[in-house]
Amino acid sequence: MAGDYKHLASQFLQAWQRERDHKIKICLFGQPGAGKSSLINELAGQRVARVSQATDTTREAQIVECPDVIYVDLPGYDTSLFPENAYFSTFNPLQYDLFLCVFAGKLHQADVDFFGKIARTGRVCLFVRNKCDGLYDPSCSREELEAKIRRDLHHQVGPRETLVFTSCRRNRPAGERGIPELERAMGALLPEAQRDRFFRHAKAYTEEALQVKRRAAERSLKKFMMLAAANGLNPVIGMDAALDSQILKSLYRAIREAFGLSEKEVLPQGPASQAVKKLAEGVTGERVTKGITWLLRKKATGKTAKVIPVIGGAAVMGFNAASLYYLGQKYIDDCYTYALERLQAEIRMGDA
């Protein structure tokens, strides 16, 4: 029986990894200097893409791989380096799930032409007027200027296309720079199966966005349990502590990544919060440790969860599906509490 359990557990972990490896591919295109790399960094919440002050910097596709999303920053279309007749064969852009056309200033005809080609294949594109902090016209208001840009865009690409105004210059909160609006617009254009994956990845700049992450993490937990069941795996109490730990490790990592947390996350300022203490007690070193044992003892009724000691003095536990689900939900609560405290601190410090 132990051998069968190990086989099922291994089979499940491989299936879960395949699920995680199926990432969303998001393509950014537009003229050099439009701020595509900076926009990727804003969406990821960290500096993951190279940013340069030069104008013609993207001479090859820049690929930025994150846990749930792959961003690809394509070079300018129909330029001297990459003319129209060789562009599609060189970069194979039709492989991507979502396109962002990023422009600063007037929309170039080359980008309109590229959009037309991908639109005819049924691909979805979102238009982003970046560097909007530089928008100014003494003869009209900001609202009138944005309306004019929107009319011009719809005249060029059609009235159904969505336009979002953004700025990557961090002199104002992200909410005033259009970043949360961009994330919502991107999520709305993705199929439901990919939407949760994107929101798990995207940096939360508002409490509303953090709630979206929480709901996505909860659905991920349910998917984790369903995938376990589909692979014939119902964790058996005390059957194999090492495999129990592997399964929890995979679950915890997925939840943690949904909130953009590292294993040893700390608050940006001040003493560690109670949430941090709970995280440290429960998941230090990704082991099933004293904190987890305490959680199960607190939750256990009857045979819901039994704690067993193993050689070496380390306290580990076996668990069944109900216990696993409870641990996942408890970890979501703790991660959300910590992420909320971190977000509130970032807002106070002007970093969100």
Query: Which H or E element spans position 103?
Result: strand 98-103
Tell me which residue has tokens 């720079």.
177
User: pLDDT value at position 93?
Assistant: 92
For residue 231, what are the β-bridge partners?
A: none
Distances (CA, A) of 176 to 45, 47, 162, 168, 170: 16, 20, 18, 11, 10
* Residue 312: predicted pLDDT: 31
- How many whole angstroms separate alpha carbon 82 and alpha carbon 302? 68
Domain(s) labelled CATH 3.40.50.300 in the chain stretch across 23-201
Contacts of 73 (CB under 8 A, 6+ apart): 28, 36, 37, 40, 49, 58, 61, 62, 64
Which candidate, 147, 175, 174, 180, places its Cα nearest to that of 163? 147
Q: For residue 180, what pLDDT is reported?
A: 96
**pLDDT value, residue 59:** 67
pLDDT of residue 210: 96
Q: Using a CB cutoff of 8 Å and minimum separation of 24, what contacts does 184-193 make?
A: 185/126, 186/26, 186/43, 186/98, 186/100, 186/126, 187/212, 189/98, 189/124, 189/126, 189/162, 190/24, 190/97, 190/98
Q: How far apart are the first and last CA of the chain?
A: 52
Asked if residue 344 lies in contact with residue 336, where contact means CB atoms within 8 angstroms, the answer is no
pLDDT digits (tens, 9 = 90+) for 235-284: 554 455 556 667 778 888 889 888 988 877 633 333 333 433 443 344 44
Q: How far apart are CA 243 and CA 261, in angstroms?
A: 24
User: Under 8 Å CB-to-CB from 243, ≥6 apart: which residues?
Assistant: 5, 6, 9
β-bridge pairing 307-309 and 98-103: unpaired
Q: Is 148 helix (H, G, I), strand (E, B) or coil?
A: helix
Q: Is 263 helix (H, G, I), strand (E, B) or coil?
A: coil
pTM over 0.85: no
**Assigned superfamily of 23-201:** P-loop containing nucleotide triphosphate hydrolases (3.40.50.300)
Residue 197, both tokens: 């994956």
Rounded to 5°, angle at Cα 305 from 299 and 307: 105
Query: Which parts of the chain sit beneath pLDDT 70?
Result: 1-5, 52-59, 227-245, 265-321, 351-352
106 Cβ contact list (under 8 Å, min separation 6): 152
Q: How far apart are CA 294 and CA 139, in angstroms?
A: 66
